[in-house]
Structure 1
Amino acid sequence: METQQNLPNEAAKAIPAEKLEEHMPSKAATVHEILRRQGERELSREVFALFWSALAGGITMSLSLVARGIFQANLPEIELGFLIEAVGYTFGFIFVIAAGQQLFTENTVTPVIPVLRRPSLGNIARLLRLWGAVLAGNIIGGAIAAAVFVWMPLFSPETDEAFLTISQHLMEKTPMQMFTGGIVSGWMIATMVWAIHGLEASKLSLVFLATYLIAIGDFPHVVIGSIEVAYLLFLGETAIFEALLTFLIPVTLGNIVGGTAIFALVSHLEVRADEEAD
């Protein structure tokens, strides 16, 4: 049977997705090719389509703060309360991924694969365009949700207090802690994206496990964190300068390093080594 090592890259693109595995030198190479195809589609989308999907994703991600705040407000004082409350953190991720909405940290791996496969100024420009549109959409969508939470009487006073406590806890971290924690959360989301495409039937479980671990590990994530920081901004509990330098810039860079520089690059090199060895 003809395998990927005997096929040029252009020929590999013609193989139907359902038959990829039998032509590839490894399972990792199969997932790599699936992500490359998906990444090409994302890089080719109109910037406003990306932005509106990301804005919807930012609003949906607010469900993580909502669920976690409601859990915290209603749980009794018990030793394992934090572990139960952290389940709420997974809600936003589950709904965003199930809905197919754009999430910035997913895009630190998927569209990076075709850029690594064919590095060029044009592809890098397309990647930066996608990142800019998705990050802006996620942050604006999250800010809209945070504004609604602050200015509309949707929740009980106890839940509002829980939102404030959760958000203040995030801003207690130093910029270095934000950056290093962001590396871990970026790497874990990238691992989740890779694993989902390798084991599609366990998609929900993989999303839950990865994001639950981020929650209990207290690793900052740029999208959920931006909702919490926007909540503090609208309440006058923090300043824009502090929000940018302490949270947004360090966590964004950390998520990119974890998702792209560590996971996507290493996984890409693994597949290239498979191809060259054969």
Structure 2
Amino acid sequence: MVHEVVRLQGEEELDRPALALLLSAFAAGLAINLSLMSELFLRSHLPDTRWAPLVYLLGYPVGYLIVILGRLQLFTESTITAVLPVAAKPRMANLAKLGRLWACVLAANLAGVFLVSSLMAGEVILSEAQRTFAVDILGKLEVQTAAKTLTLGIPAGFIMAAIAWILPNSRGSEFWIICTLTYIIGLGNFSHVVTGSSQVSFLWMSGRMAFLEMVLEFILPALAGNIIGGTGLFAVLAHGQLRVDDLGEANDETAR
């Protein structure tokens, strides 16, 4: 039942006009920056202690709540919802639709993220003190290798696909599901291509990171990891178990 609900959602997404996808995904890119901003605002009021991340990372789910409950297009959700129809009917037409959806959603997500990052770096939506604090905090983050970013992107993609899979059967618990699972992404320092891009793009626009470093060391590896975790692991396994169940039922019918 869950598989069918998610598959039908994916078919609706695949058939949406490109302009609708772009606008929805752009809005999601704008909203997801609130995860970074909320986290920074909480962090500015906390001492530098070992337990502080347990508190300031409570701000990490804010952007996800707006995006997911608002039914905006976020790239990592489409790694399962839009993939199931393709897995069920692997035709060139469906693959072309999936490629169009992924390209539109990812491009618009990043455009929204980069716009808000530019406003943050330009002290339009942050005060000078807040921007200085953000640059100081984010600039101290350890720069990971591309391989490490890719590895940490796999569980992030898996968790986001799990959210899309669970929500149709959540029965009023959507808020807690989104908060709990996205909090784990933040706490585990997993690499989410869209949310993480808000950090690296802010550092780039603040002169603390090179453009190629941002793209090659984070965006592309995180993208690959999210696709592997969301599509390669969750979507394939979720679809695969249904196929096995169907084959088992067919064999039982044949035996009878």
What letter is aligned with 1:36?
Answer: R
Q: Please name the residue that 2:24 is paired with.
A: 53
Give TM-score, length-normalised by structure 2: 0.93
Counterpart Cα distance in 2 of 1:124 and 1:177? 29
Alignment of 1:1-278 (within 5 A): 30-168=1-139, 172-278=143-249
Structure 2 unaligned blocks of 5 or more = 250-256
Q: Are the structure 2 counterparts of residues 106 and 169 from structure 1 closer, same or farther at C-alpha, using a change threshold of 3 Å?
A: farther
Aligned length: 249
Given that residues 69 and 160 in structure 1 are in contact (C-alpha distance below 8 angstroms), is that contact kept between their aligned partners in structure 2?
Answer: no
State the alpha-carbon separation in 2 of the partners of residues 197 and 90 from structure 1. 19
> Conserved in 2, the CA contact under 8 Å of 1:181 and 1:254?
yes
* C-alpha distance in 2 between matches for 1:89 and 1:237: 22
Question: Match of 1:16?
Answer: none
| Cα offset, 1:166, TM superposition | 5.0
Residue identity (%)? 36
User: 2:153 and 2:189 mapped to 1: Cα distance?
Assistant: 10
Cα distance in structure 1, aligned partners of 2:133 and 2:69:
27
- Alpha-carbon deviation of 1:249? 0.7
Q: Is the 8 A contact 2:135 2:206 kept in 1?
A: no
After the TM superposition, which segments of 4 or more aligned residues of structure 1 sit over 6 Å from their partners? none
Structure 1 residue 179 displacement after superposition: 0.1
Change (3 A) 1:123 1:39: same
Aligned partner of residue 140 in structure 1, secondary structure: helix
Superposition deviation, residue 157 in structure 1: 4.6
State the TM-score, normalizing by the size of structure 1.
Answer: 0.86
Could you tell me whether the CA contact under 8 Å between 1:72 and 1:162 is conserved in 2?
no
Partner SS state of residue 96, structure 2? helix
In the aligned structure 2, how far is the partner of 1:174 from the partner of 1:222? 15
Name structure 1 gaps, 5 residues minimum: 1-29
Please report the RMSD computed on the Cα atoms of aligned residues, expressed in angstroms.
1.4
Following superposition, the deviation at residue 236 of structure 1 comes to 1.4
